[in-house]
Amino acid sequence: MLRAAAGYVRDNPAEIGRAFRSAMGLRMGVPLDALRWLAAEAEESGKATDVVIESRPPGIRMAATVDLMRTTVRASAVVFVERVLLTSEELRIEVRLENVTLDLAEESTSPVAMLIKSGALDLSKPGNLVQHMADLPPVLVEARDNRIVLDLMRHPKLGRNRRVRQAVSVLTSLVTVHGMETDEQHLDVTFRALPQGVFSAARQVRANLIGPSLRRVRLLMPGARP
């Protein structure tokens, strides 16, 4: 990853100046080439292949060949991030899907293939289709019409990990994501500092960093009770 990042910066030196200007405005521009590199690495899992990521400002077009209910299809959609809410209790992302398409990648007689061939699927409301899929991920909060809502904190490895929750509480009290949109070559993430004020941030730092550290120090002192 470091070699790929270094190679990208070497080939695109203007990214250094852009990154500095973005940081001054509490923004972070992620090159779409970086997302494409991550997608290529993720293809090794076999869950999706031939991933395509393109800019459709302010959204992003994504396409991939996936297995949908034991049917290989080519799926494509333009994704718009409508709202991001990051707090100590939830990492919520609301997206809107437009221009959704599903095409058979290979001949099949499965029920899904028959629905695609007949045109019976209402692809203008992909959220309604997601509701009927098997093995829905725990992070899915809502899927309706063309909207899908995810809460990453519902994932067991995040929500049930005390240290992760403490870290999220501190970080989101200091800075949170305000929005996401694309230009021709970047996914720009906008941040907001101290979203709930200085005093709220101070309480979170005291409760999740200073307090636990002091308790550990006391336990190391001679005569301390466990």
Which pLDDT score is estimated for 222? 67
Which pLDDT score is estimated for 147? 96
Q: Cα(81)–Cα(63) distance, rounded to whole angstroms? A: 16
- For the entire predicted model, the pTM comes to 0.84
Question: What residue type is assigned to position 182 of the chain?
Answer: T
Domain ranges of the chain: 2-220
Q: Print pLDDT tens along the chain (226 aa).
A: 777 777 877 888 888 899 899 988 899 999 999 999 989 888 887 788 999 999 999 999 999 999 888 889 999 999 999 999 988 889 999 999 999 999 999 988 888 899 899 988 889 999 998 887 777 889 999 999 999 999 999 998 888 898 888 899 999 999 999 899 999 999 999 999 998 899 989 999 888 888 888 777 777 776 655 5
Mapping DSSP to helix (H, G, I), strand (E, B) and coil, where does residue 191 land? Answer: strand
Q: What are phi and psi of 76, to 5 degrees?
A: -145, 145
Q: What is the signed CA dihedral for 69, 70, 75, 80, rounded to 10 degrees?
A: 30
